[in-house]
Chain A
Amino acid sequence: MPVSPELRKEITSFYERQFGIPESFLQELAIEANKEEIWGGTGVSLPGIYSARAIGLRIGRNFPGSFKPTSVFLSALGARISRSEVSIELEDLRKLLLGHRIPYSGTERGYVALKYRDDILGCGRCHDSKLRALIPTGRRRELLEILRTHS
């Protein structure tokens, strides 16, 4: 179901504050949520048609008092992201994809966009001088395999 104006404002403010995504871009999205998941899409519901899931992409998870962005939406935002990017080198990327936390001494805090070369790979988190990847496990394994093949 559509989110309340308050939650919508919270979500768009989060993406603008954390990742530099203009609210004007996010205003084009219809945002829907259930108990935990939040979805954003540009399509509209159609009369008499039951959708197996919400339109568009999962853009976040809503926990009490916090909001977690998703890798799939950060990847879709790509070059629109202008803040909270953390660039990683190949060896560190491998460790992150294996599920390890790696030392982090940069200035970013909280949720970040993991960047490898020029590409946004997905969501990470900086906490207690450590960085970890929050990319879904299956996608992490796929990327790890690709990196093994091509390096």
Chain B
Amino acid sequence: MESNSQLRYRPIIDDWDTFLSSAQTPLPYVVRTNTLKIESPALQQRFVAAGIDAVSYAWSDELFEMPEPPGRRIEHWLGLYYAQEAVQTLPVMALDPQPGETILDLCAAPGGKATFIAARMHNQGTLVANEPSGRRQMSLLANINRLGVLNTMITAYQGENFPMGTRFDRVLVDAPCSAEGTLRKESSLQQGASMNTISRLARLQKRLIVRAFDLLAPGGCLVYSTCTFAPEENEAVVTHLLQERDARISPFNIPIKASPGLTGWLNEAFPAEIQHCVRVYPHHLNSGGGFLARITRA
């Protein structure tokens, strides 16, 4: 059944009926291998030995779909994997972290992406995981400990006021958002977010993306991501950055079907290069939905 809020997005979502059907389907249980502690083939062997029919993803051998909730297994306790929606791994793949770099995750809790970044860095270099909320910092810290992350510093700044003393090779802004893309696990979001919420968050997101860009070293890379469909929190935020700074949107490949960024929404036109952004809907990869932009600094 279509809600009024979902109908807002009908003109922009490909294969609407499949989208609606997917939105009503429970999310699969997915885990990401923590390669700081185990390689994927060895983890798969453990699953086989335990009689668990875990299926690896065709587009990422680090991901496994599990037949049961993954949080109550000893492998989880040991930090051999992180329970994570498949769509949540895409921002880190777009960021493409490298060992030895200096990287900032501006909105890091609970740590699913930060710990993935650290794994891609092989614990080499420095990752700053920023989270202003003390309560959310606790979950971030617990995950860093459980997964054996050695190269990460936790900071507690308001993201939009993060100090300017250091320039980073890469910055991830997985921004606070209205989370419409999580509608498969949060039934209240089937109705979509309110415009008040969207407007309030968009104002914060614009401050975050500008500060994140200013923190980039020359030649650095910024990934802006959300888990929402609202163009006001996605294309409009990236457009705001393009208006405020000399930023470039960089095309990138992700290993799944996706839709390009919108070049217009309601009465607003966005620059043509916004097409290089990526919209992901639940039916594209049997996961949640989201938005990604990869931005470079000259």
Chain A positions within 8 Å of B, measured between CB atoms, are 29, 40-53, 55-57, 72, 75-76, 78, 116, 119, 121, 139, 142-143, 145-147, 149-150
> 4 other contacts beyond A43-B153, A50-B155, A75-B79, with CB at 8 A cut-off?
A43-B125, A49-B166, A57-B145, A119-B78
B154, A52: Cβ atoms under 8 Å?
yes
Contact of B153 among A46, A48, A57, A121 (CB under 8 A): A46
- The reply to whether the CB of B11 lies closer than 8 angstroms to some CB of chain A is no
Q: Please, what's the 1-or-0 string for B148-192, where 1 marks a CB less than 8 Å from any CB in chain A?
A: 111111111000000111100000000000000000000000000
Q: A72-B145, A150-B73 are in contact. Are A48 and B165 (CB under 8 A)?
A: yes
Q: How far apart are the CA atoms of A47 and B124 in the complex, in Å?
A: 18
Q: How far apart are the CA atoms of A29 and B79 in the complex, in Å?
A: 21
A49, B163: Cβ atoms under 8 Å?
yes
For residue B166, give the distance in angstroms from its CB to the closest CB of chain A: 4
A42, B74: Cβ atoms under 8 Å?
no
A50 proximity list for chain B (CB < 8 A): 155, 163
Q: Name 24 interchain pairs, CB-CB below 8 A, sorted by A.
A: A29-B150, A40-B150, A41-B151, A42-B123, A42-B125, A43-B153, A46-B102, A46-B165, A47-B166, A48-B164, A48-B165, A51-B154, A53-B141, A55-B126, A56-B151, A56-B152, A57-B150, A78-B37, A121-B78, A146-B72, A146-B73, A146-B76, A146-B77, A150-B72
Residue of A42, A72, A121, A146 with highest tally of chain B CB at under 10 A: A42
A49, B148: Cβ atoms under 8 Å?
no
B148 proximity list for chain A (CB < 8 A): 57, 72, 75-76, 78
For residue B57, give the distance in angstroms from its CB to the closest CB of chain A: 25
B166, A55: Cβ atoms under 8 Å?
no
For residue B233, give the distance in angstroms from its CB to the closest CB of chain A: 28
A42, B150: Cβ atoms under 8 Å?
yes
A42 proximity list for chain B (CB < 8 A): 123-125, 150-151
A29 proximity list for chain B (CB < 8 A): 150
Chain B residues with a Cβ closer than 8 Å to the other chain, count: 33
Q: How far apart are the CA atoms of A76 and B144 in the complex, in Å?
A: 11
For residue A42, give the distance in angstroms from its CB to the closest CB of chain B: 4
Q: A43-B151, A43-B152, A52-B154 are in contact. Are A143 and B165 (CB under 8 A)?
A: no
B72, A55: Cβ atoms under 8 Å?
no
Q: How far apart are the CA atoms of A76 and B152 in the complex, in Å?
A: 14
Query: Nearest A residue to B144 by beta-carbon distance?
Result: A57
B76 proximity list for chain A (CB < 8 A): 146
For residue B92, give the distance in angstroms from its CB to the closest CB of chain A: 18
Which 8 pairs across A and B sit closest by C-beta, in order of nearness?
A48-B165, A76-B148, A43-B126, A43-B151, A46-B166, A42-B151, A51-B153, A56-B150
B126 proximity list for chain A (CB < 8 A): 43-44, 46, 55
For residue B222, give the distance in angstroms from its CB to the closest CB of chain A: 17
A49 proximity list for chain B (CB < 8 A): 128, 153, 155, 163, 165-166
